[in-house]
Structures are given as structure tokens and as C-alpha cells.
Amino acid sequence: MNSNLPIGIFDSGVGGLTVYRALHEQLPDEKFIYLGDTARVPYGTKSLATVERYAVENARFLAAHGVKLLVVACNTMSALALPTIRTSVAVPVVGVIEPGAQAAARASKEQHLGVIATEATVQSGAYRRAIKEVAPQAEVLERACPLFVALTEEGWAETDVARTVATEYLKDLRGRVDTLVLGCTHYPILRRVIQETIGADVRLIDSGAATACAVEELLERENLRRRSFDTHTGQLLKERARARRLCDDLDHFYVTDAAERFARVAERFLGSAPSRLEAVEVWGQDELQSTS
């Protein structure tokens, strides 16, 4: 495996950009290819079979572009389709559930954990299972918060509307958890309002940030970190010589629809829009072989 290949990240839409940001901060030497399946977003209200089918199409699209590792940034896909994705491509695949669950179990003092996520993720019970695996005694309360996604995409993260919605969603968790997993990629955008609402003493766990740490460990273990120096000349790689920015032209973004809207929301989420953004089709890739 060529360690200079980019890392592939895919999501049902724009939410995975918070995972891209976390990876970018943790691994500034790496290049990234991001795929947002904006033609078929959201996955959080879809069935298992449909999520699996779409997830495999996304994974194969990125694998065919040559990546050394795939990050399933979407919680719903990680919860429902990780085993299926792993059998469909030849590169290592990292989801967001296990890193998030493990970070939460480590952070929780009293093992009273909360998880907020999409309907599909909550129904799957994936976070509960992953937490129980490392902390069998833990109590886990889960709550689906479907309006949070629309709120963040509307740019209403810091409004009274967001506070009212958060108060409603979190009322049964407040006072009953010491740690809360943000189990949907959109939720870190609402971090401030969620923290205010659930209480300042509750630890918030961003699954995306936990995943970035897991990816770093895996790259180290597999000797797959991108080299910052040219081993022949000892020179800094050209792009390393300048400071990396989010969304600069080393990172390539693909969407399956509505690129303009993606760029607009990306700007809202990251402070800058992708300089390389393309609309593509990912369906009907069944004949393609995954690359390794």
C-alpha cells in the first residue's frame, strides 16, 4: 500500500465535514478525498437494506479512486453497514461508532452515558452495544434528535430556535448522564447549545474527533502515514512547505448532487468552501473492482 495515497472519507451529505475537519487537524500531512451522497441524503430515516446498498456504492467509488484507508464519517452508515462495507473494499475501513463509544466509556466517571443521534442510529442500538463491549456495567440512554440536522444546515446553530429544540430533546437526559456522545456528524456544530442545555459538567464526546485519533493509531500501526519529507532528497514535500488550510486544493470533494448547496453549507460548517468540488454519480458501480 502506498502511504502517499489520500484518505477517503464518505458521508450521506455535508455532515461528515466535521469529521474531515477533525482528521485534518489531527493529521495535517495527509490528503483527503471526501464524498457526500447529497442526492440521497438523509440516510437517518432509511431502512437497513437501503443504507447498506448506498454505503457500498459510496465505498466502492472512493476505493476506485485509490485511497489507502476509508473513513465512514456517517454515524448511520457506521451503525448499520460497517461489516458490509468492509467486505466490499480491500482497504482498511474505520467507522465513527466504536471510537466514539470507547472515548465516551473512558471519559465517563459514573458510567451514566447518553447518546444523541439520528432515528436509524438510535434504533440500531450500535452505540449501546459498542459502549457495553468496553463498559458492561454502563447505563446508556439514547435519544433521536432529527431536527438538529435541519437546524445546523439552516445556519441556526446559535439561535433561540436551537435552544428551544435542544431543551425539548435533552429534557429526559438532563441530570441523568455525566457523558453525552454527539452521535451524528452534524451535532458538533450545535456543541455550544447542547453543552448549555445538558449542563456544563457533562462531558461531550465528538465521535468525529475520537475517530481522527483512531485513524492516526491505525496509520502508525500499519506504517501508512504520509511522509512529509522526500526520502531521496530530504526536502520538505512542496505542499508541506506552506501551511495547510481546510478545503485547500490538496483535498478533493465529490458530491452526488447540488454542489452549490454543499459549498454553501460547507462554508457555514468550516469557514471556507472546497476549492476542488465535483458532482459525480456513484450508483451502478457494481461492475467496478475495489482497488487496493
Binding interface with its own copies (CB under 8 A): 38-41, 45-47, 50, 119, 146-147, 149-151, 153-154, 156, 159-161, 164-165, 168, 257-258, 261, 279
What is the nearest approach in angstroms of its own copies to the Cβ of residue 258?
5
Identity of the residue, 66 or 125, whose beta carbon is nearer to its own copies in the bound complex:
125
Identity of the residue, 46 or 60, whose beta carbon is nearer to its own copies in the bound complex:
46
- Residue 288 has a CB neighbour count (10 Å cut-off) of 12
What is the nearest approach in angstroms of its own copies to the Cβ of residue 105?
30
With b meaning 16 or more CB within 10 Å and e meaning fewer, what string describes 132-148?
Answer: beebeebebebbbbeeb
Q: Which one, of 227, 224, 186, lies nearest residue 206 by Cα?
A: 186
What is the nearest approach in angstroms of its own copies to the Cβ of residue 83?
21
* Bridge partners of residue 11, in order along the sequence: 36
Identity of the residue, 66 or 146, whose beta carbon is nearer to its own copies in the bound complex:
146
- Give dist(CA 20, CA 73) in Å, integer: 8
CA angle 138, 169, 113 (to 5 degrees): 10
- The residue with cell 508541506 is 240
* Bridge partners of residue 71, in order along the sequence: 9, 94
What is the nearest approach in angstroms of its own copies to the Cβ of residue 44?
10
Number of H helices, E strands in the chain: 12, 10
Identity of the residue, 78 or 118, whose beta carbon is nearer to its own copies in the bound complex:
118
Q: Which one, of 245, 279, 197, 253, lies nearest residue 10 by Cα?
A: 253
Catalytic (active site) residue 247: no
What is the nearest approach in angstroms of its own copies to the Cβ of residue 100?
24
Which residue in the list 145, 184, 213, 247 is annotated as catalytic?
Answer: 184
Which residue in the list 74, 145, 213, 247 is annotated as catalytic?
Answer: 74
The cell for 156 is: 441556526
Judge contact between 77 and 13, C-beta under 8 A: no
Catalytic (active site) residue 145: no
- Give dist(CA 103, CA 105) in Å, integer: 6
- Give dist(CA 227, CA 62) in Å, integer: 22
Active site residues: 74, 184
